[in-house]
């Protein structure tokens, strides 16, 4: 236990020094925490202990004793996960997609923030502080009384990787390798039933056209025969391994923003192309894992640990040839496109330009024209979806220490902001010379004097004098907030950052408010003949979009609502829920209109979007 809590308890008069020693002796004797000893000996009220922790760690305290969890928060963390990490979800705001968690101290908050970031969860997280016994009492109460209810579609349940919650520093290859070895060993072979998705009857062809992302006609796309291994790894194992790989690669690329962005894009493209080529789940997951691990090509010894029994090396380091597997072909095509995009810039936004260069640069182009056209269709659909990408404003994040970048970049980007990261004052000033940002966030964790000088110069410059500056200050900072306010900063925020509070502070400055989309926007319209219902849903799912979609065909009108990429409601006439979704999925013609939404009805659909698409394809096959 840190001395600053004991000092706070003594200085505030809540606990005498003799009682502190008594609690320490009790903790050592019974092998319990100092906080547990304080409570067990009845030396302090739980609420007073929580308020003291709030002062010490700079986090708000929310009393948990007697607290009733909202249903959304009850399902945000599994009981096993809560016990493993010693945290509890205390609130969930679906409009902000923000989960609030109770933690024992500021370091614990930072650790949980990293865990969520590494797992690439779409949730943002905020933190309150509470005594350890109060947190664990609530976790235990939740575990004992939890009702078996359907989990809300918009909240993901995380499962901890046993023994693997320590931090990974960039470049720590030994730890990367040890993690990968542990992940590869944890396997339970099963033989899953293959999903049959072939339409042989003439009457099925129209349905197959409407569900073309999942049910393919052999004459349109050459799909190699997939041989099922004797002991094929389970879907659960592959998904766990995929999460572990993305976590490791994200940690390894910490600070390399551009490389991480390219790797994420590669995994996204591979997932979308795999869906349209009718890959089985195991194939798709192996391809996504390979896309992530391609970022570690210069460390083959690490990749090798993941290979057995998946032969990921054969995908990542494929040398081409007639026997090249389909996964290696897709990854090679995506890599070729990203190289074209890197070298040609904005010209790569022209699909015809990309088609010409792929035919010249991709060795397999002559024999695999169908795969190229499938990928180009993904690019065209992505450009269509980009019409919804409104920029809420440009934020300059000045972070000389590099420890706030990954915590803030992702949630701010998802909120619609264009985030530019500067690792130093000179880089920030160079950016500001070319582009005046709408808002500046400056991290003064260990660079107080540098940030003070930056604030003064920014406010003295006519071009940037009106740009609001938010300074991030740790509780241990020697500099006073007043010093930064005098230097020109408009406001300050304690660390770790409360993301919800940061949103409110930014919005208070009305950053590009007129540029934000509103609920009255007409959105985007199109024809199902140009973009099928399945293609549309897959793009929205991967992009985590919140959309209200209206589909019309003659006198019929259907509606589908997605929240963060998950279908939560569907209707067609008097039919509500999943059955309505399956009927809409079979429409091969008609019109659609999409617009972003921020308010949502009560869920009528609980299955995941990908499960709905797979089940709809199965029903189409049996029609």
78-99: pLDDT as tens digits:
666 677 778 888 877 665 567 7
Kindly give the interhelix angle for 235-252 and 173-185, rounded to the nearest 10 degrees.
180
Question: Could you tell me the pTM of the whole model?
Answer: 0.47
Q: Please say whether the beta carbons of 33 and 27 come within 8 A.
A: yes
Any idea which of 12-26, 32-46, 102-116, 155-169 has the lowest mean pLDDT?
155-169
Q: Please say whether the beta carbons of 596 and 388 come within 8 A.
A: yes
Compute CA distances 256 → 9, 25, 231, 297, 577, whole Å.
43, 47, 38, 16, 43
CA 527, CA 531: separation in Å to the nearest integer?
A: 6
Nearest CA among 574, 545, 575 for reference residue 561:
545
- Does residue 391 surpass a pLDDT of 60? no
Is the peptide bond between 496 and the residue preceding it cis, with omega within 30 degrees of 0? Answer: yes
Q: Please say whether the beta carbons of 314 and 270 come within 8 A.
A: no
Which pLDDT score, from 0 to 100, does residue 440 have?
Answer: 92
CA 101, CA 127: separation in Å to the nearest integer?
A: 5
The tokens for 226 are 């997939």
The full DSSP string for 227-241 is: PPPTTPPPHHHHHHH
pLDDT digits (tens, 9 = 90+) for 434-473: 888 889 999 887 788 889 999 999 999 888 888 999 998 8
Return the CATH number of 45-145, one of 3.20.20.140, 3.40.1160.10, 3.30.300.160, 3.30.70.1560.
3.30.300.160
CA 516, CA 256: separation in Å to the nearest integer?
A: 29
Which pLDDT score, from 0 to 100, does residue 194 have?
Answer: 36
Nearest CA among 437, 451, 443, 456 for reference residue 493:
443
Nearest CA among 223, 350, 325, 331 for reference residue 270:
331
Q: For the domain made up of 393-515, give the CATH fold.
A: Rossmann fold (3.40.50)
Are both 45-145 and 393-515 of the same fold?
A: no
Most confident of 310-319, 527-536, 545-554: 545-554
CA 443, CA 221: separation in Å to the nearest integer?
A: 52
Q: How far from the centroid of its chain's Cα atoms is residue 381's Cα?
A: 21
CA 261, CA 247: separation in Å to the nearest integer?
A: 14
Domain ranges within the chain, ordered by starting residue: 45-145, 173-191+228-388, 393-515, 524-622
Q: Please say whether the beta carbons of 506 and 439 come within 8 A.
A: yes
pLDDT digits (tens, 9 = 90+) for 37-79: 898 888 988 888 988 888 888 788 878 877 666 665 665 566 6
Maximum CA pair distance of the chain?
86
pLDDT interval class at 598 (50, 70, 90):
confident
Rounded to 5 degrees, what angle do the CA atoms 249, 251, 256 make?
Answer: 85
């Amino acid at each position: 236990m840190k001395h600053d809590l004991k000092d706070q308890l003594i200085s505030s008069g809540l606990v005498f020094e003799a009682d502190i020693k008594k609690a320490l002796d009790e903790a050592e004797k019974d092998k319990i925490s100092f906080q547990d000893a304080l409570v067990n000996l009845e030396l302090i009220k739980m609420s007073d202990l929580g308020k003291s922790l709030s002062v010490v760690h700079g986090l708000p305290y929310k009393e948990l004793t007697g607290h009733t969890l909202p249903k959304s928060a009850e399902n945000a963390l599994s009981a096993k996960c809560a016990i493993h990490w010693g945290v509890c979800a205390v609130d969930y705001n679906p409009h902000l997609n923000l989960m609030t968690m109770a933690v024992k101290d500021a370091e614990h908050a930072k650790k949980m923030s990293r865990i969520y970031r590494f797992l690439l969860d779409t949730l943002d997280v905020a933190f309150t502080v509470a005594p350890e016994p109060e947190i664990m009492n609530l976790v235990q109460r939740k575990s004992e009384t939890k009702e078996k209810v359907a989990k809300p579609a918009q909240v993901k349940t995380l499962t901890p990787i046993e023994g693997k919650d320590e931090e990974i520093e960039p470049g720590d290859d030994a730890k990367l390798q040890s993690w990968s070895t542990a992940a590869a060993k944890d396997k339970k072979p099963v033989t899953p039933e293959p999903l049959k998705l072939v339409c042989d009857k003439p009457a099925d062809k129209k349905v197959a056209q409407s569900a073309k992302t999942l049910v393919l006609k052999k004459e349109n796309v050459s799909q190699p025969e997939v041989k099922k291994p004797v002991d094929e790894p389970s879907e659960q194992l592959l998904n766990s391994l995929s999460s572990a790989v993305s976590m490791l690669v994200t940690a390894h690329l910490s600070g390399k923003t551009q490389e991480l962005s390219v790797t994420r894009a590669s995994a996204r493209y591979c997932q979308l192309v795999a869906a349209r080529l009718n890959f089985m789940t195991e194939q798709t997951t192996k391809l996504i894992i390979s896309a992530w691990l391609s970022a570690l090509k210069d460390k083959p010894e690490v990749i090798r640990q993941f290979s057995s029994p998946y032969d990921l090396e054969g995908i990542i380091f494929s040398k081409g040839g007639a026997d090249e597997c389909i996964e290696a072909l897709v990854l090679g095509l995506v890599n070729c496109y990203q190289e074209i995009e890197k070298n040609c810039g904005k010209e790569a936004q022209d699909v015809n330009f990309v088609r010409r260069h792929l035919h010249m640069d991709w060795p397999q182009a002559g024999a695999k024209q169908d795969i190229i056209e499938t990928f180009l269709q993904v690019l065209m659909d992505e450009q269509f979806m980009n019409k919804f990408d409104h920029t809420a404003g440009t934020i300059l994040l000045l972070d000389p220490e590099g420890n706030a970048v990954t915590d803030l970049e992702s949630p701010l980007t998802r909120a619609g902001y264009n985030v530019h990261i500067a690792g130093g004052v000179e880089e920030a000033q160079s950016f500001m010379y070319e582009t005046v940002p709408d808002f500046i966030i400056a991290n003064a964790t260990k660079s107080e004097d540098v940030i003070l000088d930056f604030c003064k110069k920014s406010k003295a410059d006519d071009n940037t004098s009106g740009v609001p500056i938010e300074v991030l200050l740790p509780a241990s900072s020697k500099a006073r907030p007043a010093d930064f306010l005098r230097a020109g900063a408009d406001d300050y925020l304690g660390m770790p950052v409360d993301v919800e509070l940061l949103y409110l502070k930014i919005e208070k400055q009305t950053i590009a408010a007129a540029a934000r989309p509103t609920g009255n926007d007409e959105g985007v319209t199109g024809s199902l003949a140009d973009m099928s219902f399945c293609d549309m849903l897959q793009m929205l799912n991967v992009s985590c979009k919140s959309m209200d979609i209206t589909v019309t065909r003659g006198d019929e009108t259907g509606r589908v609502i997605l929240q963060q990429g998950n279908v939560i409601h569907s209707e067609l006439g008097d039919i509500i829920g999943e059955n309505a979704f399956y009927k809409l999925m079979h429409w091969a013609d008609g019109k659609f209109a999409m617009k972003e939404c921020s308010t949502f009805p009560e869920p009528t659909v609980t299955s995941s979007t990908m499960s709905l698409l797979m089940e709809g394809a199965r029903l189409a096959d049996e029609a």
